[in-house]
Structure 1
Amino acid sequence: MREIFSYKGLFWLPENPDDKVSGTLSFSPEDGITLELIGFLGSRRSSAQLFETKIINGFSTNGKKLSLFKCYESNRTASYPGIETSIIQANYLFVGANFINEDEICFNKVAIKLKNLDSWLGISGFDIQYNQAEHSTNIYYKLPQPIEFKINSGYKAKFEFISSGPSISIYTRKASIEQSVYLILEPLDKTDRHFKELLKQTHTFQMFITFATFTASFPLEIIFYSPRYFIEFDSKKIPEEIQLYYTTSIKPKNKEIFHWDLLFSYQDIEKNFKVIINNWYTQHDKINSILGLFLVNFYNPGIFNVNRFLNIAQALETFHRRFKKNNVLPKNQHKERLKTIINSVDKKFKEWLKQKLSFSNEPTLKERIDELLKDYSNQTIQKLIKDFDNFSKLVKDSRNYYTHYDKSLEKKAAKGEDLYYLTERMKVLLTCCLLNVIGFDNNLIQELLKRNKYRLYNHLY
């Protein structure tokens, strides 16, 4: 997913396999998928009619099957005399198979290598022993056993380790062994699923790793498998690896992260991992929008601005709306109260008043923050937020001001450095809320916050 490459070959439309056009297919994570053709695909069109199609197939000069999905022509040139050329962009590129239609882009297994998954797992097959007296180093490596678990969204999963060993030669002066780990997902019913459904499942886990590490995680490699795609060798059917590539706007940090950089590691939750990961998938529909507002800080780091504060304020409000009682009075009582109020006004104002009072039974933002502080407080939060009432009032006034820029609230809103520190404290509260709903007990949450004090929260003390 992060490499840059190109293929030369022949390309054609699935419905017209005999009409092949030569071209060069290029991929880079930033620029995406570009197919430059010497000629054009499909029937002749006017220059105003740029070409769109779901699938373009190809076969490279080095024997690779290629399939582009969701394609559109971005440019076409023609000169007389001369040769017509066409440039096509695509959203997805599959290397290892050709498809006739979208219904064929289905698989029953996906293997994904994620940035920081290995650091989060913290499992190594190496045993290195130094002997200074003999000036010797013994390196013993044993491949770790897979870690298997089930996901209650209908998948079995495992962390599978692979390693590449050194070449053996009497002239060897350098040897290396590299260990990698993949997340493997397979539907429990063993049926093929659309590739986007499989990506959705892996993306849910990717967000889990981002939350756990407080660092952006993203796919380094995505491989699909299906019994329909195989290579025959020595009377055996070997599964074909079908690799997926697509554009990503993420600018990765190459810095390696370590155990002490993480919010929590696999070792922290090993005994309870299966419960926690299933809670994550079970609650994902509820927390997905919250995570989108929270984790954007790790995918798009940069200078602090008002939008970062508003994102966290909205995330806290949404969390309360999803996981706490969202009404002040019981519904029947509120309904009676509304009826009394609306019946007391002139008929021409009734409809207007109904609209104005449509959210009148919901807690205010201050009331929501007050309840979250009450329910998810711990020693760290109590140290970071000395006065709960003033804190929730400041969050409310600042949110209202930066949403509407009402002059009457300007003096009440936090600004500059104060707004930054207010946001950072809100992030600690949100972290505790999320940890709680996926199964972390209060003692472990406090232990993790205390351990991460110097890396994540020291600037708030």
Structure 2
Amino acid sequence: MESAGEMQLSYGARAKTMANDPLNLDEAAEWAGIWWLPDDPDERIAGVLRYEPETGLALSLIGAFEDRIMSSLSPGVVAVHEGTLTWEVIHGAAEQREITLLGCVPTRTRRTIGARVKSPDRQIVKATTALIGAHVRGQGEAAFSAAEVSVEDLELWAASSVFEGSWGTTGGKPDGSGRISVKPVGSESVTVDGTEFRLTHRRTLPFLDQLKGGTVGRMRDTVFVRVVPSQPFSLTVALEAAGSVQDLIALATHQAAGVIWLRLELAEIGAASPADRPALHRSVDVLYAPPALGKHDAKAVEHHRVFFTCESIPFETIVPRWGEARGRLRAATNMIMGLRYAPARYIESNLLTAVGAAEVLHRGLGIDEGPFPPDVFDTMRGAMLAQVPEEHRDRLKGSIRNEPTLRDRLLALAARPDQEAIGLLMPDVDRWARRTTRARNDLAHEGTTPGHSFEELFAVVEVTTAVVILNVMQELGLPAERQRAIVQEHPQLRATARAAREWLVSPGSGA
């Protein structure tokens, strides 16, 4: 039991820690202050900036920036045109912090000119992004030296924790005793093309909450990725880095992974600090709308639903591999991520997305070889075109291509991952390739899939998605044993394998 002095220290430490915590994107906040346009800093308007996770950023001004589009026709004569002005940047000062709003659009302006009672104008401005803690000239300004991002289930993926726990027993039964201990966990880092990526733990000091109905002891361990390029960088670069981390965790957990918070660090301000004093670092919290919004207090995904962690592929290995693979296969991974973040309501849309991802992936893997040697194909095409009237040759020439068919691409993709894992996923690869090709072609050319039931289309979408994912993980170097375990243990892939055995097996095959 802590002494009173220790208890007071805990509360003080808690308050200090909470004050320095990043702003969670799933929590509402507001700032009352003054606001101005960078090109006219002398015109300052009072107002309140509010952030709501569901609706975003809204600045309510007591007064108004001029948002009318006007032109001078002659001295003293002004024409007001349709439309309204927008502002890329608005600066503010509130709660003793600089604030930059980006992508600002006035949504409502109420002017009181000519009113019986003179009162201030009112204006509401929507913004796409807020930087809490800095004034910058725009999203492309290289004003930052580091970025830190927290994503849902990052700690589970990191496969490390500062906590250890044990429970006491008497006679083989729990006796109510036990302990929770905290051990330091070192950071893991890797440098890729001059940019350092560091997997870091940040924990609060232990403290006790004395409540009316009891006492609760708490500590919080947060895992985040710190990104430090070799040169100052912009918000655009920071958002790209956050998106890369988010997509990696989404791939690893096979579900949408929301960003919980994003914090930047301003590049060093002014002259260098004296040698006996640390450099001045100012944190900048970013409020924006990521592809998925993280819930910082939501329950973590179950461990058996995770495809891979840093135990399967160490952090220093997966980060450079993911950076290279994401850049090369980005279109395909984006399409598959789309099925996780925002699945379509209709099976036909998901069919086109899954099959399109497979085609794009096949091209990105560099195995897009035609069925004929180039010299043989050129001779064949020349002979065919010679038989066509000249006025129709250009049109026909564009349709004669030396490219693999969709079925060829699907079979080639199925041959790349661990073959035992593919066999566990589907017993009849050829049937899957043929039925997937038929479904896509019927939908694309006829607008319907009369030869497929809904259940078969669902199986086609799920199996094709799984094949794309296994190929991406093959590119990341996921061991064959882990690929097999995923198909056998992950609930969704087990269900996919059952659907493949039921709907994608040739009649009479006995598979």
Whether TM-score is above 0.5 comes out as yes
Decide whether the 8 Å contact of 1:23 with 1:38 is kept in 2.
yes
* 8 Å CA contact retained: 1:230, 1:239: no
Q: 1:355 — aligned with what? A: 398
Shift of 1:43: 8.2
Q: Structure 1 residue 183: deviation in Å?
A: 0.3
The CA RMSD over aligned residues, in Å, is 2.8
The reply to whether residue 41 of structure 1 matches residue 65 of structure 2 is yes
Counterparts of residues 80-119 of structure 1 (less than 5 Å) = 80=115, 81-101=118-138, 104=141, 106-119=143-156
User: Displacement, 1:168?
Assistant: 6.9
Work out which of the residue numbers 423, 430, 441 in structure 2 matches 1:389. 430
Q: How far does residue 444 in structure 1 lie from its aligned partner after superposition?
A: 3.2
> Which residue does 1:261 correspond to in 2?
305
Q: Are residue 24 (structure 1) and residue 27 (structure 2) matched? A: no
Q: Partner amino acid for 1:111?
A: E
Distance 1:63 1:415, change over 3 A: same
Q: 1:449 aligned to 2:460?
A: no
Aligned mate of 2:183, from 142, 162, 174: 142
8 Å CA contact 1:230–1:238 kept in 2: the answer is no
Contact 2:248 2:322 in 1 (8 A): yes
Check conservation: 2:201, 2:222, Cα contact below 8 A. Answer: yes
> Within the alignment, does 1:180 sit opposite 2:217 as a pair?
no
Corresponding residue for residue 17 of structure 2: none
Letter in 2 for 1:333: V
Q: 1:105-138, CA deviations, whole angstroms, 9 ceiling, x for partnerless residues? A: 5312100011110121131111223334585333
Matches within 5 A, 1:61-80: 62-79=95-112, 80=115
In structure 2, the partner of 1:166 is 206
1:199: which partner in 2? 239
Corresponding residue for residue 330 of structure 2: 288
Contact kept? 2:418, 2:483, Cα under 8 Å: no
Q: Kindly indicate whether the alpha-carbon contact (under 8 Å) linking 2:27 and 2:52 is maintained by their aligned counterparts in 1.
A: yes
- SS in structure 2 opposite 1:389? helix
Q: Number of residue pairs matched?
A: 449
- The answer to whether the aligner puts 1:3 opposite 2:41 as a matched pair is no
Matches within 5 A, 1:214-233: 214-229=254-269
Aligned-residue sequence identity (percent) comes to: 19
Matched, 1:319 2:352: no
**Conserved? CA contact 1:15–1:100, under 8 Å:** no
CA distance in 1, matches of 2:141, 2:334: 31
Q: 1:14 aligns with which of 14, 24, 38?
A: 38
Rounded to whole Å, the distance in 1 between the matches of 2:423 and 2:140 is: 55
Q: Could you tell me how far 1:340 is from its partner in structure 2?
A: 2.4
> Structure 1 pair 17/228, CA: closer, same or farther in 2 (3 Å)?
farther
| Between 381-390 and 225-234, the greater mean CA deviation after superposition | 225-234
Please tell me the residue identity of whatever aligns with 1:356. S
Find the partner of 2:416 among 362, 375, 397: 375
Higher deviation after alignment, 440-449 or 217-226: 440-449
Query: Could you tell me which of 79, 101, 121 is aligned with 2:158?
Result: 121
Cα offset for 1:417?
1.1
Q: How does 1:145-156 map to 2 (within 5 A)?
A: 145-152=186-193, 154-156=194-196
Displacement of 1:385 in angstroms is: 2.5
1:305 aligns with 2:347: yes
The CA distance in 2 between the partners of 1:23 and 1:334, in whole Å, is 69
Is residue 54–residue 70 contact of structure 1 (8 Å, CA) maintained in 2? yes
| Cα-to-partner distance string for 1:34-89 (whole Å, 9 max, x where unaligned) | 111111225876584523122111111x2121110121212211132432111111
Query: 2 CA distance for matches of 1:131 and 1:444?
Result: 35
**Aligned CA distance change for structure 1 residues 434 and 314 (closer, same or farther; 3 Å):** same
CA positional deviation for 1:224: 0.7
- Residue in 2 that maps onto 1:401: 442
In the alignment, is the contact (CA less than 8 A) between 1:5 and 1:27 conserved in 2?
yes
Secondary structure at the counterpart of residue 349 of structure 2? helix
- State the alpha-carbon separation in 1 of the partners of residues 210 and 316 from structure 2: 47
Supply the distance in 2 between the matched residues of 1:145 and 1:100 (Cα, whole angstroms).
Answer: 37
SS, match of residue 416 in structure 2: helix
Partner residue in 1 for 2:389: 346
Structure 1: runs of 5 or more not aligned: none
Shift, 1:305, TM fit = 1.7
Query: Aligned AA for 1:76?
Result: T
1:221 Cα deviation from its structure 2 partner = 0.8
User: How big is the shift at 1:250?
Assistant: 3.3
Q: Is the 8 A contact 1:39 1:85 kept in 2?
A: yes
For the structure 1 residues 216 and 386, does the alpha-carbon distance in structure 2 shift closer, same or farther, using more than 3 Å as the test? same
- Kept in 2, the 8 Å contact 1:9–1:23? The answer is yes
> In the TM superposition, what whole-angstrom CA distance separates every residue of 1:193-244 from its partner, at most 9, and x where no partner exists?
1111122122112111100011211211111112345999996543111011
In structure 2, distance between residues paired with 1:11 and 1:403: 52
Deviation at 1:249, TM superposition (A): 6.0
Write the deviation string for residues 228-273 of structure 1: whole angstroms up to 9, x where unpaired.
4599999654311101111246366734213212011222223xx4
Q: Give distance in 2, aligned partners of 1:442 and 1:155.
A: 30
Question: How high is the TM-score relative to the length of structure 2?
Answer: 0.81
CA distance in 2, matches of 1:104, 1:459: 47
| Shift in CA distance, 258/351, structure 1 to aligned 2, threshold 3 Å | same
Shift of 1:293: 1.3
